Amino acid sequence: MSETPVPGTVRPGGRTARVREAVLRTAGDVLAEEGFDSLDLAEIARRAGVGKTTVYRRWGTPGALAADLLDDMAVRSLPRADTGSLDEDLRANARLVVKTLTDPRQGRLFTALIAASLCDDQAAQALRRFYAVRIDEWAGCVTDAIRRGELPETTNPRQVIAAVSAPLYYALLNSGERLDSEAADRAAAATVAAARAGVFASAP
């Protein structure tokens, strides 16, 4: 017997794909404008011009809808930089994070999705998948740097990439410090210095 797919995980084409795109775009707008508490499936269906039954059958819960939105965002995210320099690659990574978090829509959207992950298990799992996908994508910058001899061979690429964005998300969610190109460059430089010092070396 085949298992029933988790709502929001099927990747169809044609008209169903257009429905999904309209619903996810509307869900993103609502999350950015009003937050997770306002993610009502019936209202999303109305605003997206989609049948309410379709939305309830496809997603079922606001958490499943937020999770599908995160999965879609991961797929659509920009590829990593490949400048030939670890310093430049990580600076590009940090500046992309800052650009996203300070965008009038995307910044509020990410804040809402993070809030959703604190109260909904499906959203939490999807947020972890989102960051896993993005970290894996950018980890290639560190792998290339190890190959070029810029970093110790035991360096953990995923830990390096996670360290770049950590202070930027902290500024967004906790300290309220200014997020700009200078903050991005500081985060990248601090991570590079720590990586070269062996801070992110894996245990033998």
At 50, list the tokens.
Answer: 């989609």
- Residue pair 90/192 in contact (Cβ under 8 Å)? The answer is yes
For residue 161, what is the domain's CATH number? 1.10.357.10
Residue 158 included in any domain: yes
Rounded Cα distance between 162 and 171, Å, is: 15
Residue range 112-141, pLDDT digits in tens: 999 999 999 999 999 999 999 999 999 999
Q: How remote is the C-alpha of 177 from its chain's centroid?
A: 21
pTM of the model: 0.86
- The reply to whether 44 and 92 lie within a common domain is no
Q: Say if 121 falls within a structural domain.
A: yes
Q: Domain check: are 115 and 186 in the same one?
A: yes
Minimum mean pLDDT among 12-16, 48-52, 53-57, 89-93: which range?
Answer: 12-16
CATH code for position 55: 1.10.10.60
Question: Are 113 and 141 found together in one domain?
Answer: yes
88 and 185 housed in the same domain: yes
The residue among 6, 30, 62 that closes a domain is 62
Could you give the number of structural domains in the chain? 2
pLDDT, tens digit (0-9, with 9 covering 90-100), for 179-204: 999 999 999 999 999 999 999 998 66
Query: Which domain range does residue 103 map to?
Result: 77-196
Using the predicted structure, report yes or no on whether residue 23 has a pLDDT greater than 90: yes
Contact 142, 194 (CB under 8 A): no
* Higher per-residue pLDDT: 15 or 50: 50
